[in-house]
Amino acid sequence: MTQQKGEPKASEGGIPSNYSRLIARELDLTVSQLPSLLQGTGLGIAQFLGEDSLLTPAHQVRILRNALALSGQFEFGLRLGKRLTPATHGAIGFAASSSPDLLTALQAIQTFLPTRASIVELHLQEAEEHLECRLDFQVPLDADIERCLADTMIVVLLEFGEFVVGRPLHEAEICFTHRTPEYHAMYSDYLPGRIRFGSDKFTLKLPMALCREPNASANHENYRLALEQCESMLAELQNHKPSYQTRLKKMMLSRPPGSLSEDEAAASLFMSKRTLARKLKEENSSFRKIRDEILSRQAISYLCDSKLSIEAIAALMNYHDGANFRRAFKRWFGLSPDQYRQHAGSRHTLPPAP
């Protein structure tokens, strides 16, 4: 392919393709329209849609350039950032969300960001009573792409911050290196805090007191257990054949328990819900069957390998209350969670997961 000005050279792939699939979803593209997004990359649709495929920096930048052209919107980076919620970042999202405070969450992002987005690095530095989060791009970028990526990255960081602290970070000070864009009035719709343009460094400044506030989202020890369990179950799937069941399980395990809807799963695979149901039926499975298998395995792991209360397990698995969780558990195993735990402790034979 012809390399454009400011575009990085091709190198070993290391950027998960799911980010580009989210770009396609933000553009509301169908499978037949994907070639317009992939133009100039040399990537085929099957390779692009592969759950475990990795992109080079050159691929990622070209896809982002194509997306900007297709959207016709300079503020596309802000929109994309809103779509990249903590749940879309896999293990790094779990790790940051399970952190005891925002400082630890940002440190987790700093550590693991190279495994998800090798074109950007995060540097953290305490300066007086503030934490300075500096973002550096690791590849040469033209002005439009750099601005778009900057918009996306800052929204992503503030989304993590809001998840951990439990509210928008109005104390934030955001310093962009690009000049004031024509759509500058839209920034307040996406970003809290003070915004400056034309700065020497691309930084996010946060008060240290805010960074040390306890995680308001959930018990971080419980989230750590969830992360470990999901990583273990994902490891089991690595050698499985690339079926729709396997892809669906990986998607479910990369998000908070029970949060993936059938509509979202189908959209992520660029097909209708009816088509997904048909493909799963051909594999003698269904969305509900797979969901029950994942949730039931998680439930018995928490019951047998931890001392968490039934209410805590229900909350961790995103059930609205303990009663709903108990009804689901009884449907899976024919026993209540308390009965299952007692049987497990006494080494009685237990019913298998669905």
Q: Where are the domains of the chain?
A: 1-72, 74-217, 220-345
Measured in Å, how far apart are the chain's first and last C-alpha atoms?
A: 49
Domain at 74-217, CATH from 1.10.3470, 3.40.1350, 3.90.1520, 2.30.29: 3.90.1520
Q: What percent of the chain has pLDDT over 90?
A: 51
The third-level CATH classification (topology) of the domain covering 220-345 is Arc Repressor Mutant, subunit A (1.10.10)
**Interatomic CA distance for residues 203 and 150, integer angstroms:** 10
- pLDDT digit string (tens) for 6-34? 444 444 557 888 899 999 999 999 999 99
Q: Can you tell me the mean pLDDT for 272-286?
A: 94
The dihedral built from the CA positions of residue 138, 144, 148 and 153, taken in this order, carries a sign that is positive
More confident residue, 16 or 87: 16
Q: Which two structure tokens, joined as six digits, stand for 297? A: 């395995």
Integer-rounded Cα radius of gyration of the chain: 22
In 3D space, the residue among 15, 22, 8 whose CA is nearest the CA of residue 61 turns out to be 8
Widest distance between CA atoms in the chain? 68
**Interatomic CA distance for residues 95 and 110, integer angstroms:** 11
**In the chain, how many H helices and how many E strands?**
18, 7
User: CA 260 from chain center: how many Å?
Assistant: 12
Q: Can you give the pLDDT at residue 351?
A: 63
CA neighbours closer than 13 Å in the CB half-sphere of residue 295:
26
Q: Can you give the pLDDT at residue 203?
A: 97
Tell me phi and psi for residue 212, to 5 degrees: -100, 5
Q: Can you give the pLDDT at residue 9?
A: 45
3-12, 66-75, 181-190: least confidently modelled range: 3-12
Residue type, 165: V
Q: Can you tell me the mean pLDDT for 204-227?
A: 79
Q: Can you tell me the mean pLDDT for 103-110?
A: 90
Tell me what the pLDDT averaged over the chain comes to. Answer: 86
Q: Can you give the pLDDT at residue 205?
A: 97
5-9, 26-30, 117-121, 336-340: least confidently modelled range: 5-9
The dihedral built from the CA positions of residue 94, 95, 101 and 106, taken in this order, carries a sign that is negative
State yes or no: pLDDT of 210 exceeds 60: yes
State yes or no: pLDDT of 78 exceeds 90: yes
